[in-house]
Amino acid sequence: MPSDKPVVVVTRKLPEAVEARVARDYEGRFNPTDKLYDAEELIALCEGARFIMPCHTEKLTAEVIARLPESLQAICNFSVGYDHVDVAAAKAKGLIVTNTPDVLSDATAEIAMLLMLGAARRASEGERLVRSQEWTDWSPAFMVGRQVTGKRVGVVGMGRVGQVFAERARGFAMEVHYHNRSRLAPESEKGAIFHARLEDMLPEVDYLSLHCPATPDTKGLLNAARLALLPPGAIVVNTARGALVDDEALIAALKSGQIAAAGLDVFNDEPGAPDGYLGLDKVFLLPHIGSATRETRDAMGFRALDNIDAIAAGREPKDRVA
């Protein structure tokens, strides 16, 4: 017999505990093979559904949203970022949009620290030397990198993830600078130095870590002009969104030595990284795994389902962004 439970479209393979909760409370349309649906498949899957639970891999453009069935009430993202959703189009269609903030701050800050340390200490290059058995000797001049402890770090975007990253950086006795839309309260700032203009902060830091969302205003934020403001030999880290970085400008700065190294977990046009990064030993690359811990992925799914539960019950969801 047909179920009277609301239908939830789950676009990717989610953690077992999350899918179990979907199956318990809703009629779930799951993706057991974890394939990436194209637009036509996604639209067809939503027929008769009340909710869709997409990841950042699903591009819900204005064109796709316009064709979604009238039964759909909400797009409840399994992600904190929602730049993959045309929010204006969703609003125009009367769709609620939610995300999953807070729960991935620790995991993403950990990856940012890993990237900063890996880029500074030439981790990718060293790991390849050991695996290829090309490591033949040790000397005082061998594999010399950059120190992190006691250096100056600039944080772009002092939201939840940025604040956790700043706290981790203080564990390395780093002097924290930050640029944000507004200055934090002193108890949240914890001694960090605020710069109202990004251009004023860049010359003052040895490391730069990006933690702001991708928006029309932040697209290409780290461009050639801003890279040139960093002190020669600075190191760049990005765990936010690839759209924040002008790849051609960063690759050129890495090749010239203006930027000593970079640690990148996110890229324009994922999956994959631009070819210009691939031949550079000084770039430490990861495949968008900032939130990839078991605890965090479970928490993201439960947060998305909390939003679905609220909407299904006629309540305002906690994490509504549109």
Q: How far apart are CA 179 and CA 268, in angstroms?
A: 23
Active site annotation includes 288? yes
Beta strand extents in the chain (DSSP E only): 7-10, 27-29, 51-53, 74-76, 96-98, 152-156, 175-179, 193-194, 207-210, 234-238, 259-264, 283-285
Asked if the peptide bond before residue 271 counts as cis, ω within 30 degrees of 0, the response is yes
Which of 29, 160, 241, 303 is catalytic? The answer is 241
Q: What's the sign of the alpha-carbon dihedral 197, 199, 205, 206? A: positive
Parallel/antiparallel/unpaired status of strands 259-264 and 234-238: parallel
Q: Which of 40, 41, 248, 270 is catalytic?
A: 270
| CA-closest candidate to residue 222, choices 268, 255, 269 | 268
Catalytic residue among 21, 179, 195, 288: 288
Q: What span, in angstroms and rounded, lies between the C-alpha atoms of 225 and 199?
A: 9
From the list 124, 121, 194, 113, the residue with the least C-alpha distance to 156 is 194
Residue in the structure block whose two tokens are 């924290």: 176
The tokens 């993830």 sit on which residue? 161
Give the residue numbers annotated as catalytic, written as ranges. 241, 270, 288
